[in-house]
Structures are given as structure tokens and as C-alpha cells.
Amino acid sequence: MKNRLVKEAPGKKVPVGAGEDAENTHEGPLTFVYQHDYWAGILALAGLVLALYIFFFPVPPPPKPGVPAPPPPRPVVRFPDLTVQGLTVSGSNSSSVINGRVVHLGEQVEGVQVIEIDSEGVGVVLDGQTNRIGLTR
């Protein structure tokens, strides 16, 4: 647009088509847009498309953190009938009389392992579940 036709008026040089859009004599990559009056319509159409897209395709809310499912119930372990008849508490050398048999820490009686011996009774474990057996008096 360097050599644009110019009308000469008395004492003035005015570009052809000047008047209200005399300011639209820009040069550069957007010259095409400035030369045409429909650029406002293009922008309005683009805005309408964007608004419709946002309306019909809203951003979904982030997923709520779910409550974790409770762990499945452990199978019920049935402990055999055990009776603690006597206790000797001496640290790692502690022993107990269970159902008439002397057992030490870590030993098994009727499939149940002895894991604790104290002055109150004996702690035993069977299939990962623990139980406490008090001293019978």
C-alpha cells in the first residue's frame, strides 16, 4: 500500500476512499483484515462458536476422591479350646501349661502358636489372628 492513489483537494492530499476509514491504511500481515469491513463479523462469529463450544462441551469437574472400599472381612478363625493351667514368667525362657502340656514361647499346641507369656495369661496366633487366653484359677 505504499503507492496508494491520492486525490488532491485544494491544499490537501487525501487518500482515495478516505473519510471515516482514512485510519485503515495500515501495512503489515493484517492489511487484508483492515481493508475489509467484515472483520468485526468474523470476530463475532468466532466468539459465538467459542461460546457454543463452552456451553455444549463444558469442562467436567475433577473426579471426587472415592471412599476406598472396606477390606473384605477376614474369615472367622475358630480357636481350639485351650486352658492355661500354669505360668512361669522368665523373659524369653517363659513357659506355660496349656491343656496339661508344657509349652515355651514360639512353640505350638493343637495347631496354635504361643507368641506371648506374661503373668496374666498367654497370647496365641492362628492363621494370622491373635487371641488372649487368661490363666484359669
Query: Given this model, what pLDDT does residue 58 score?
Result: 81
Looking at residue 36, its pLDDT comes to 65
Residue spans per domain, the chain: 6-56, 84-134
Q: Which residues, at least 6 apart from 87, have a Cβ–Cβ distance to it below 8 Å?
A: 94, 95, 96, 97, 117, 118, 119, 121, 122, 135
Mean pLDDT, 10 residues at a time, the chain of 137 residues: 52 53 60 66 86 85 80 87 93 92 94 93 93 88
Instruction: Please give the pLDDT value at position 1.
Output: 46
Task: Write down the pLDDT at residue 11.
Answer: 58
The pLDDT assigned to 103 comes to: 96
